[in-house]
Structure 1
Amino acid sequence: MRILTLPLLLTSVCGLAHDMVPGTAQQQAILFTHATVHTASNGVLENTNVLVENGRIAAMGEQIQAANARVIDATGKHLYPGLIALDTQVGMVEIEMVRPTVDTQDVGLNNAELKASSVFNPDSEIIPTLRKNGITHAQIVPRGELLAGQSALVNLDSWTVEDALVDSPAALHLYWPELGNLPVKDEERSKALTAHGEALAQIDTLFSEASAFVQRKAAEPSLTHRRFEAMAPLFRGDTTLFLHANTAGAIGEVLTFVKKYQLKAVLVGGYEAWHHGDAIKAAGIAVVYPSVFSLPRYRDDNIDEAFSIPARLADAGIDFAIGYSGDWDARNLPYAAGYAAAHGLGKEAALKAVTLNAARILGVSDMGAIEVGYRANLVLSGGDILDPLSSRIEQVFIDGREITLKTRADQLYQKYLKR
């Protein structure tokens, strides 16, 4: 069920807009000197200079110089790529318990034409709290029963939705029905299995009808069907289908479904994806794991099971990224990656999972790493960005422009100091 219609949402959020002014486009070259550069693509480079021009990384090396550049002395500091938060509802939710500020889903089983960007609020008070933790971009994702709609990649410092959108391939989101624990009683067990079978048949019917429509439309261009037309790029391989599933059984069903319709797919959830490691790799499917801070799903799981899954995905050779399902709490993304690093993944792989891997899964080839030619999405920190105790983020840049790190909490703190 959609929480609220768009016009009412826009009316309500006007009173919840932050007053942080977005940064202006880069006018002057910036030279970071003597930094410890965490490239996410080529390891860690010590005592390295990084030159940023026109919003992109222009040069890197120990002897890089630039006339008339703004010099930032990064001696003893760490330079990271901006973090990318996957599977969030940032800007779609302001206060979870206030219905007029929540717009994450709509009614119906097929909402392929709906776009999360149409309800994104770039003035959300939540956004500055993510930036303060080094998150420069977010994938905003609709929720729903089955085919929920289209996600978008946005930068977290903009005047408008149009300014926020980052050019990236379209992505549709399908929430797979999961069977869960079956009842003990035979009659109830039978009902649960029947209901699950009907849900799977519903998905198959939806996609077979959409596929048939696409074939008919090729012969009869005048045919129209808003939702099936939104699904058409799936069958051409132009759009990625993000399938949300966690259990081994559901993931097995997803793999069969993807093979049947020859879809370009990403698995979101993947709590038990490592059980299907070979099949997932063979299908060319990447995994977005957004549940590092979740509780164990099963009674006999280890207490730190959720923390260890990224390492298991890596050991299985599966391409993956770490996401963070939620809105305000998505600011904890770097710390989720830190927990994964401490539970077998390692720091470099954990950083890559929230930067370069995330960008690649979204189909963006010039983000997520500190490399020449890449967008200058950078975070300068006095400590380890993945460690809440030592992370001291000092400056953040999006496309080479410095953005403010102030939040509403900072403003209130300063206000009441003067009381």
Structure 2
Amino acid sequence: MRNSLLTAALLLGASSWAATAHDMIPAAQQTQSILLKNGTLHTVANGVQANTDLLLQAGKITAIGKNLRAEGAEVIDVSGKHLYPGLLALDTTLGLVEISAVRSTNDDEDVGTDNPQLQAAAAYNPDSELIPTVRANGIAYAQIVPRGDGLAGQSALVNLDSWTIEDAEHQAAVQIHLNWPTMRRWGVDSDEQKAKAKAAYEQKIADIDQHFESAYRYALAAKAQQIKTPDERWQAMLPLFDGSGKLFVHADKQQTIEDAAALCKKYGFKLVIVGGYDAWRSADILNEMQASVVYTHMLDLPERADEPIGQAFKIPALLKAAGIPFAIGFSDNWDSRNLPLAAAQTVAWGLNQDEALRAITLDAAQIAGANNIGALAVGYDATIAVSSGDILDPAFGKVEALYIDGRKVDLNNRHRQLYHKYLTR
């Protein structure tokens, strides 16, 4: 049974969502084949293919090539258009937060530091007014992530055109999120205050160790079929111990990343660092563990006063040079629509165009543990963004159509409605 992230969601969620629900109707399941003709395909998996056709049948890509034919298919000429896999926005609160300043519309966090059983999917609002504004930029999937301290809960990967969470949820690895503590700085000149900060940090680490030790013992008992009194917290963490789940640790500084890596190494967890500002500095440790990074600071200022102004911008290139698998994420709700811009920024700071696109498509899907999305390839889900230009260029890359599982999505949204409204003023 899923647990709501906030008890208030059960009491206030229905009324708050009704007040902010969008009126775009989710597309019906694909029943007719669709043949997209003569487009420029940015396949991610097999380079860029010009003047190429794409056949979509029953929600899947079934053929790629030139001069394709399909009896009874809807034929759409996309000459001069650019076709991309639907983009993936990682580390968002989309559908969990509607209006940040209105508490009753914020269902992204619960109390306590030990909540691995909580599932963000239980609080997801597929009618959020924010969703159509985000998918208008070609974003087809979002990882919805619980916030909070310590073990905050489990995220879910959803498609952004659905009636319910059951329609929306895409199969992915179990994703448990741990917000690693930071060492508070009480003052640079006081040894006493530094000692207090260090002691407080070490106590939080000890608490995390205790949580995971309890979960480990529970996992051993479960393996031996010796569980007499089930505990939903430790039950939720079993996928970490059997290898079917991933631990997403939110950490930025080198010390916190390496402390988190030590914990994961102890138990053999699959590790994903979220944030990852200093991850490139810990390349040896992360590569040894085959860990990956969701980098979320692409449009941020430097973390340290003595760093160059462009430090945050070039970190994806540093991760690439260090051989660390990574994706670009955008830790927000409505602002996650800027994901293509964040990826574009990496091109100016060391990545090439293909690497930047891969960081918000195929690599993002692989980090989330999702199969058959993130690329234009036969057998993959028919999730495609059709753009008039480079999708990473906000000035010229206007998304003209979006298909999710072969369903053509309504790209109308609140922003466009207001734009046309005030054009008539």
Partner of 1:372: 378
Partner of 1:311: 317
Partner of 1:206: 211
Q: Which amino acid aligns with 2:168?
A: A
Moved more, 91-100 or 3-12: 3-12
CA contact (8 A) 1:39 1:370 kept: yes
Partner of 1:347: 353
Give the CA deviation at 1:223. Answer: 2.0
CA RMSD of aligned residues (A): 1.5
Residues 338-379 of structure 1: CA distance to partner in whole angstroms, max 9, x if unpaired? 001221111100000000001111111200000001001100
Give the CA deviation at 1:219. Answer: 4.5
Please give the residue correspondences for 1:15-26 in structure 2 after superposition, counting only pairs within 5 Å: 15-26=19-30
Give the CA deviation at 1:213. Answer: 2.1
CA contact (8 A) 1:3 1:105 kept: no
Give the number of aligned pairs: 419
Q: 1:193 and 2:198 equivalent? A: yes
Q: 1:10 and 2:14 equivalent? A: yes
Give the CA deviation at 1:265. Answer: 1.4
Give the CA deviation at 1:180. Answer: 5.5
Q: 1:326 and 2:332 equivalent? A: yes
TM-score (structure 1 length as normaliser): 0.97
Residues 129-180 of structure 1: CA distance to partner in whole angstroms, max 9, x if unpaired? 1110000000000011000000000000001111111122211000011225
SS at match of 1:31: strand
SS at match of 2:207: helix
Give the CA deviation at 1:80. Answer: 0.4
Q: Which amino acid aligns with 1:229?
A: Q
CA contact (8 A) 2:319 2:326 kept: yes
Moved more, 224-233 or 127-136: 224-233
Partner of 1:50: 54
TM-score (structure 2 length as normaliser): 0.96
Extract unaligned runs of 5+ from structure 1.
none
Partner of 2:147: 143
Give the CA deviation at 1:220. Answer: 2.3
Q: 1:225 and 2:225 equivalent? A: no
Q: Take 2:396 and 2:364, find their aligned partners in 1: how far apart are those partners?
A: 24
Residues 313-355 of structure 1: CA distance to partner in whole angstroms, max 9, x if unpaired? 1111111111100000000001100001221111100000000
Q: Take 1:413 and 1:244, find their aligned partners in 2: how far apart are those partners?
A: 37
Partner of 2:398: 392
Q: Take 2:7 and 2:311, find their aligned partners in 1: how far apart are those partners?
A: 33
Q: Take 1:63 and 1:18, find their aligned partners in 2: how far apart are those partners?
A: 39
Q: Which amino acid aligns with 2:76?
A: I
Partner of 2:108: 104
The 3 A distance-change label for structure 1 pair 3 and 176 is farther
SS at match of 2:340: helix
Q: Which amino acid aligns with 1:317?
A: G
Partner of 1:118: 122
Identity of counterpart residues, as a percentage? 48
Q: Take 1:180 and 1:76, find their aligned partners in 2: how far apart are those partners?
A: 54
SS at match of 1:14: helix
Q: Take 2:140 and 2:225, find their aligned partners in 1: how far apart are those partners?
A: 45
Q: Take 2:354 and 2:36, find their aligned partners in 1: how far apart are those partners?
A: 21
Q: Which amino acid aligns with 1:238?
A: S
Residues 94-118 of structure 1: CA distance to partner in whole angstroms, max 9, x if unpaired? 1111111111110111111110001
Q: Take 1:85 and 1:319, find their aligned partners in 2: how far apart are those partners?
A: 16
Q: Which amino acid aligns with 2:395?
A: L
Give the CA deviation at 1:231. Answer: 1.3
Residues 176-222 of structure 1: CA distance to partner in whole angstroms, max 9, x if unpaired? 11225563201100000000110110100110011112223434232
Identify the match of residue 215 of structure 1 among 207, 220, 228.
Answer: 220
Partner of 1:40: 44
Q: Which amino acid aligns with 2:411?
A: L
CA contact (8 A) 2:172 2:371 kept: no
Partner of 1:411: 417
Q: Which amino acid aligns with 1:139?
A: Q
Identify the match of residue 235 of structure 1 among 220, 234, 241.
Answer: 241
Q: Which amino acid aligns with 1:212?
A: R
CA contact (8 A) 2:185 2:197 kept: no
Extract unaligned runs of 5+ from structure 2.
none
Q: Which amino acid aligns with 1:102?
A: N
The 3 A distance-change label for structure 1 pair 158 and 241 is same
